Structure 1
Amino acid sequence: MEEESSSRIMSDDEFMKLVKLAQTKSDVEAMNTIFQYFDQDIKRLSKLLRMPKEDAIQSMKTQPLELIMKKNKKPFIEKLFLELYRKQLI
């Protein structure tokens, strides 16, 4: 259990660097790293939603992707993602 949580540790700077790469360069690898970071949480939370598990997972991945790709609201999105990341809500 401890190994799993320690492998999920990421600094704020690292996280925001990934968000910026995904925003500015549409970096698929950066987006995948973000999804992998939250994969355990997404799967756990998908069980709580009243919809098929696959649909819940897809929805929880689509919403952050849409937020990240909205480049025109970049400062707001960066603050939002950083706050959610700090609270471990996504």
Structure 2
Amino acid sequence: MMNDLQLITEPDFCKLVRDAQKGSDRAIQTLLELFEPDIERLSWFIRMPREDSKQYMRMELYSMIRNTPEIMDGRT
């Protein structure tokens, strides 16, 4: 089964990350939506209430995007 994350090109993904790092709410929302199927699937394996685990993963993803040095030219 293919999710949205598998359909986005690497340059487009890197642009989304760069935009999110610059504070674009739309880019952050798009990234969260792209990872939502994985967050949903993984929430079943964390020993806490599912909604709490999903929210935790969303916050960690947001934190990682905001606190990672900017991606330049589509390469890390």
TM-score interval, smaller chain: 0.7 to 0.9
Other structure's SS at 2:65 match:
helix
What percent identity do the matched residue pairs reach? Answer: 32
Q: CA RMSD in A?
A: 1.8
Q: Identify unmatched segments of 5+ residues in structure 1.
A: 80-90
Deviation digits for residues 65-89 of structure 1 (CA, Å, limit 9, x no counterpart): 1111126x335xx73xxxxxxxxxx
Q: In the alignment, does 2:53 pair up with 1:18? A: no
Q: Give the alignment partner of residue 40 of structure 1, picking from 34, 37, 42.
A: 37
Q: Distance in 2 between matches of 1:46 and 1:35?
A: 15
TM (norm. structure 2) is 0.81
Shift of 1:38: 1.2
Whichever structure has more helix as a proportion of its residues is 1
Instruction: Tell me the residue number matched to 1:27.
Output: 24
Q: Identify unmatched segments of 5+ residues in structure 2.
A: none
**Aligned residue pairs, count:** 71
Other structure's SS at 1:47 match:
helix
TM (norm. structure 1) is 0.70
Q: In the alignment, does 2:50 pair up with 1:53? A: yes
- Structure 1 runs (4+) deviating above 6 angstroms are none
Q: Distance in 1 between matches of 2:21 and 2:36?
A: 20
What letter is aligned with 1:41? D
